[in-house]
Amino acid sequence: MCGIAGFVNLDGAPADASVVAAMMRTIRHRGPDDRGQLLLSLRGNDITDSALGFHRLNILDLSEQGHQPMVNPSGTIVIAFNGEIYNAFDYKPELEAAGFQFRSRTDTEVLLYLYEHYGLAGMLERLNGMFALVIADLRSHEVHLARDHFGIKPLYWTQVGSSVLFASEAKAFLQHPAFTAEIDEAHVDEQLAFRYVAGDASLLKGVRQLRPGHRLTITPDGVTTTRYWSIPDGVEKARLSREDAVEQLDQVLRRSVAAQLLSDVKVGCQLSGGIDSSLVTVFARAQLGAGMEAFSVVFEDAKFSEDRWIGEAAAAAAAESHRFLFTEAAFTGRLQRASWHLDQPISHPNSLGLWLLAEHARTRVTVLLSGEGADEVFGGYTRFVSAHLPPQAGGAVETFIRSTQFQPASKLAKLRPSANLAPAVARRAALFHEGRGDHLSNCLKYEMQTYLVDLLIRQDKMTMAHGVENRVPFLDRRVVDFARTLPAGHLVGDTTKVVVKELARRTFDDAFVFRPKGAFNLPLSQYFRSAAFTELMEDRLLPGIRQRGLVGEPAVRELWRRSLSAPALTEVFWIPVALELWAQSLVKVVD
């Protein structure tokens, strides 16, 4: 796990090494073990018009042979790679047979030679893992960017004047003299209503995410973006009994967990107490044996704490359980730093719990496995049950999109009277219609391409703030391929996530498996009345909201007052507060 930053000057102007060095310093938390940078000539002349920088977190081959950016022996291809490829070493024998001589034990070098041997498309079609990568091919005068199939690793880009900038975190762009951070007001309504911006857009004007399953190519003539992979749909459904479906899930998930334990540093598990992370922990313990550690966040107030279920899961896995107490001080004391790290508003306040978990876990492990992705892949939300019920005619698509909306237009209008959600819903409908299966399959694909991507960014940024790599076994390509063949009845019915729960019943009792789904809620009303939060609101946030003018300061103040006695309003109040916190970390107020 690492950090990438760089730029290409399309007009051939010399690249300033001090600029890429500054961009790298901004994301050094992603790779505290090593750093490197190169100036390159995309045009093949004497002028170095491109810069590529890298911060490395040592996971595989801790020696200097894993240094990046990595260059092939002929000096014609350069790669910077953030992530892990779990099947990389399957290709090493054939590459050696083709004449490639390996200098390291890294998956980075395998990628380098896969690209040289098979080209970009051939390399990408072979990969199973998580990645954001940059390849500079000096033979063809091209720079390629690519992001993994599900968006586990982030990658941002923007064009300012004649320069194309790219980085693992958008804040790196602040160090380029041509870039000015501005809020794109076209996406503010979507942020306030849905809590994130879907697709390739962002809240920063001109800054785009490279979408999952996409690649981008930069040449002296400009930039082109291409989809290289799609979530499978229109797939023939398997004729499996429930028992056979559960058995196949058991096998494919165990293989995924085993593959994702590959590491030269210590690996542990995020254990929330939910069935997804609990299954991952149990399967990881079966592979690692004694000494495996699990990390959790708990609360003093039993209404919010999953301590009981965490204890049961840790006992079932025979894992060493570390539980960190989340307090008001942990919340208010980390808000501003976490906002800066996330690159977008902390729309889910429980992101601070991930921050705390990673902060403490880093003293013992460098890699964590989590259960993220199971809900979106296997149908873990009640809205999927509704999506499967007849009739599914007329406005079914907009109905489902609106079901993921966090607050209705009536409440949004009180914050922002000019709000208009029609453009956001239209953009999301276009994403939904990329699906080519039945309605439920399309709903699942939509969630994987929207909400899941946002959750994965949260996982990445909160863990990488402390130099911790997060892995997600439920998003192994083979697991997702299997899930896409399952008939609806194996996904949703009287309950959600049917086959996953049936698999969990092999280890846990029904009280554990079928309890109401937890949401990792925080005692926000308590936090919002604290002296520290009150001071932050009165001294910085409310004045900033008033001056910025994106939402009405009186409406936010009223929501704050009401949320202190109405817990249902706490996260509604939090959304505009998170927006201002983020804005103050990156964007200056323009008078």
- Report pLDDT digits (tens) over 224-245: 999 999 999 988 899 999 999 9
**Position of tokens 């490197």?**
36
Note whether 229 and 149 are within 8 A (CB). yes
Task: Point out the domain boundary residue: 462, 482, 513.
Answer: 513
* pLDDT of 254 strictly over 60: yes
Tell me, yes or no, whether 74 and 108 share the same domain. Answer: yes
**Helices (H), ranges, 260-350:** 275-288, 307-317, 328-332, 335-342
Q: What is the pLDDT of residues 312-340, one digit of tens each?
A: 999 999 999 999 999 999 999 999 999 99
Q: What is the pLDDT of residues 259-313, one digit of tens each?
A: 999 999 999 999 999 999 999 999 999 998 878 899 999 988 777 788 999 999 9
196 and 343 together in one domain:
no
Q: State how far the Cα of 250 lies from the Cα of 473, in Å rounded to an integer.
A: 12
For residue 483, with 0-12 CB atoms within 10 Å meaning exposed, 13-18 middle and 19 or more buried, which class applies?
A: buried
| CATH number for position 457 | 3.40.50.620
How far is the C-alpha of 371 from the C-alpha of 310, rounded, in Å?
14
- Between residues 305 and 404, the one the model is more confident about: 404
pLDDT reported for residue 1: 63
Helix 351-361 crosses helix 451-464 at what angle (to 10 degrees)? 40
Total domain count, the chain: 4
User: In the prediction, which pLDDT does 520 show?
Assistant: 63
Q: Could you tell me if residue 293 is inside a domain? A: yes
With respect to residue 519, please indicate whether it lies within any of the assigned structural domains.
no
Q: Which residues touch 46 (CB under 8 Å, ≥6 apart)?
A: none
525-547 average pLDDT score: 95
Q: Which residues have C-beta within 8 Å of that of residue 473, sequence separation ≥ 6?
A: 253, 256, 257, 260, 280, 283, 369, 371, 479
Residue 217 has pLDDT above 80, yes or no: yes
Confirm whether 182 is domain-assigned. yes
DSSP string, 449-511: HTHHHHHHHHHHHHHHTTT-EEE-GGG-HHHHHHHHTS-GGGT-SSSSSHHHHHHHTTTS-HH
| pLDDT (0 to 100) of residue 411 | 87
Domain with residue 161: its CATH number is: 3.60.20.10
* 509-534 per-position pLDDT tens digit: 999 999 987 666 788 999 999 999 99
Higher pLDDT: 567 or 428? It is 428
pLDDT on residue 235 = 86
Give residue 290's pLDDT: 77
Q: Please state the rounded mean pLDDT for residues 441-462.
A: 97
Report how far apart, in Å, the C-alpha atoms of 103 and of each of 94, 99, 111, 113 are: 16, 13, 13, 12
- If asked whether residues 504 and 390 sit together in one domain, one would say no
Choose one of 429, 446, 463: the last residue of a domain: 446
Is 61 in the same domain as 20?
yes
pTM, full prediction: 0.96
572 inside domain? yes
Q: Is residue 82 part of a domain?
A: yes
Residue 392 has pLDDT above 90, yes or no: no
Residues near 565 by beta carbon (within 8 Å), at least 6 away in sequence: 525
Across 388-448, the runs of DSSP E, i.e. the strands, are none
Domain endpoint, select from 419, 446, 473:
446
Q: What mean pLDDT value characterizes the chain?
A: 94
- Considering only CA atoms, which of 436, 437, 428, 443 is closest in space to residue 380? 443
| Domain carrying residue 458 | 242-377+450-513
Edge-first strand listing for the sheet containing 77-85 = 70-71, 77-85, 129-137, 142-147, 214-219, 222-227
Of residues 217 and 494, more confidence is placed in 217
Is it the case that residue 495 has pLDDT exceeding 70? Answer: yes
> Does some domain include residue 410?
yes
- Clarify whether residues 454 and 509 are in a common domain: yes
Decide if 258 is inside a domain: yes
Please give the pLDDT value at position 519.
Answer: 60
pLDDT score of 490 more than 90: yes
Using a 10 angstrom Cβ sphere, with 0-12 exposed, 13-18 middle and 19 or more buried, the burial of residue 515 is: middle
Q: What is the pLDDT at residue 234?
A: 82
- pLDDT above 90 covers what percent of the chain? 89
CA atoms within 13 A on the CB side of 73: 7
Average pLDDT over every residue of 355-365: 96
Residue 391 has pLDDT above 90, yes or no: no
The pLDDT, as a whole number, for residue 407 is 86
Query: Do 97 and 171 fall into the same domain?
Result: yes
Neighbours of 250 (CB within 10 A): 16
Q: Is 511 exposed, middle or buried (0-12, 13-18, 19+ CB in 10 A)?
A: exposed
Distance CA 533, CA 529 (A): 7
Same domain, residue pair 372 and 392? no
* Residue 393 pLDDT exceeds 80: no
Q: State the pLDDT at residue 567.
A: 87
Least confident range of 82-86, 102-106, 585-589: 585-589
Least confident of 331-335, 355-359, 490-494, 513-517: 513-517
Give dist(CA 442, CA 488) in Å, integer: 12
Q: Rounded distance, CA 94 to CA 105, Å?
A: 15
Q: What is the pLDDT of residues 5-41, one digit of tens each?
A: 999 999 999 999 999 999 999 999 999 999 999 999 9
502 and 356 in a common domain: yes
Same domain as 409, residue 361:
no
Indicate the SS3 state at residue 397: helix
Q: Residue 232: inside a domain, yes or no?
A: no
**Same structural domain, 582 and 479:** no
Q: Which of 122-126, 145-149, 289-293, 481-485 has the lowest mean pLDDT?
A: 289-293
Over residues 74-92, the mean pLDDT reads 97
Same domain, 485 and 544: no
Give the three-class secondary structure for 534. Answer: helix
Mean pLDDT for 476-496 is 96
Q: Is the pLDDT of residue 590 over 60?
A: no
Instruction: Please tell me the predicted confidence (pLDDT) of residue 589.
Output: 63
SS3 label, residue 320: strand
Residues 149 and 275 in one domain: no
Give yes or no for residue 144 having a pLDDT over 60: yes
